[in-house]
């Protein structure tokens, strides 16, 4: 029997001030899957992300997490369910005047009543899971960009969410560091059984880690393609889709190509 999706969008339209950026988005993310939302600059990836994490209400349609509807549930119920999402923002969003352990402790302090000593132990455990076991007392400006991203992942995992949302995780990283972060994501899925939602334009990461993906496009104001990344690159009937995944030059009637890592 096919498992129920952990996240499902149905005819979802997203945008600002009543004006849709993307319309009729329908897709689902399965348990333990690494699912990528791809698109070029200005395609609407950030708008989808804001809706997924509850910052921006949908204009139409529905979004479900673990079977709970955003539009049909109370605000309190949805706020509780949305804690199933642990989010790594593009910049890492660490507070500069706090140590890495203190940054990871923030959601634990905010959403639990655990003693300070227990919260610190949990924070150090999360840092250990991302390869930062010896860095809990360091400040964000004392570590590399790759380490800051890892610390951001640790904070996103602080409350053991079943779904990890990564916003452009490889942005600003060199190719080697980005590949190491890809390996971390695969390891977390393998060891913890989490589901990962990857919002990105990075094709190298997509091919390395994603089981399936959707390609969104402002030209069609929605989803242009969905499937296994390599198959979209090699077999999709739309030449613009194949060109995107092959990083071929844009054509007048085609999709803009994806940018390099760190763009």
Helix (H, G, I), strand (E, B), or coil: what is residue 210? coil
Inter-residue contact 217 to 39 (CB < 8 Å): yes
Give the model's pLDDT for residue 253.
53
Topology of domain 7-246 in CATH is Rossmann fold (3.40.50)
| pLDDT attached to residue 81 | 81
Q: What is the pLDDT of residue 117?
A: 94
Helices within the chain (DSSP H only) = 45-52, 75-81, 100-111, 116-129, 145-156, 175-192, 203-209, 229-235, 239-246
Residues 6+ apart with CB under 8 A from 255: 40, 215, 217, 219, 224, 240, 241, 243, 244
Q: Alpha carbon of 238 to those of 14, 80, 179, 180, 222: distances in Å?
A: 25, 41, 29, 32, 15
Given a contact cutoff of 8 angstroms between Cβ atoms, the answer to whether 38 and 258 are in contact is yes
- CA torsion sign for 156, 261, 43, 62 is negative
pLDDT at residue number 259: 41
**What is the domain partition of the chain in residue ranges?**
7-246
Give the tens place of pLDDT for each residue, 176-195: 999 999 999 999 999 999 99
- The pTM of this model reads 0.88
Question: What DSSP assignment string belongs to 48-79?
Answer: HHHHHTTSS--SEEEEEETTEETTTS-HHHHH
Q: Taking the C-alpha atoms of 100, 104, 110 and 114 in order, what is their torsion angle to the nearest 10 degrees?
A: -110
Q: What pLDDT score was predicted for residue 126?
A: 95
Question: Is-contact 34 210, C-beta < 8 A?
Answer: yes
For residue 166, give the nearest of 188, 147, 185 by alpha carbon: 185
* Residue 57 CB neighbours (<10 A): 11
Question: Angle 18-20-21 (CA atoms, 0-180°, nearest 5)?
Answer: 140
Give the number of other Cβ atoms within 10 Å of residue 105's Cβ. Answer: 24
Taking residue 163's Cβ as centre, other Cβ atoms within 10 Å add up to 23
Stretches where the chain sits below pLDDT 70 are 92, 250-263
User: Per-residue pLDDT tens for 72-83?
Assistant: 888 888 778 878
């Amino acid at each position: 029997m096919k498992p129920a999706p952990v996240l499902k969008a149905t005819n979802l339209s997203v945008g600002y001030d009543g004006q849709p950026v993307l319309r009729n988005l329908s897709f689902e993310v399965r348990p333990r899957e690494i699912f990528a939302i791809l698109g070029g600059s200005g395609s609407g990836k950030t708008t989808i992300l804001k809706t997924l994490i509850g910052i921006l209400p949908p204009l139409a349609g529905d979004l479900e997490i673990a079977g709970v509807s955003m539009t049909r549930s109370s605000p309190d119920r949805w706020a509780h369910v949305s804690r199933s999402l642990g989010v790594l923002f593009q910049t890492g969003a660490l507070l500069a005047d706090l140590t890495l352990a203190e940054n990871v402790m923030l959601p634990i302090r905010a959403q639990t009543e655990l003693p300070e000593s227990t919260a610190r132990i949990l924070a150090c455990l999360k840092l250990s899971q991302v390869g930062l076991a010896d860095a809990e007392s360091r400040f964000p400006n004392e570590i590399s960009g790759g380490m800051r991203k890892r610390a951001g992942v640790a904070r996103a995992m602080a409350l053991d969410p079943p779904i990890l949302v990564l916003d452009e995780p490889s942005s600003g990283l060199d190719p080697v560091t980005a590949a190491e972060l890809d390996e971390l994501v695969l390891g977390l899925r393998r060891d913890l059984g989490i589901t990962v939602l990857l919002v990105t334009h990075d094709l190298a990461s997509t091919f390395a880690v994603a089981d399936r993906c959707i390609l969104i496009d402002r030209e069609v104001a929605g989803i242009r393609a969905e499937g296994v990344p390599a198959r979209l690159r090699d077999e999709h009937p739309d030449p613009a889709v194949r060109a995107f995944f092959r990083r071929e030059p844009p054509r007048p009637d085609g999709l803009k190509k994806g940018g390099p890592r760190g763009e």
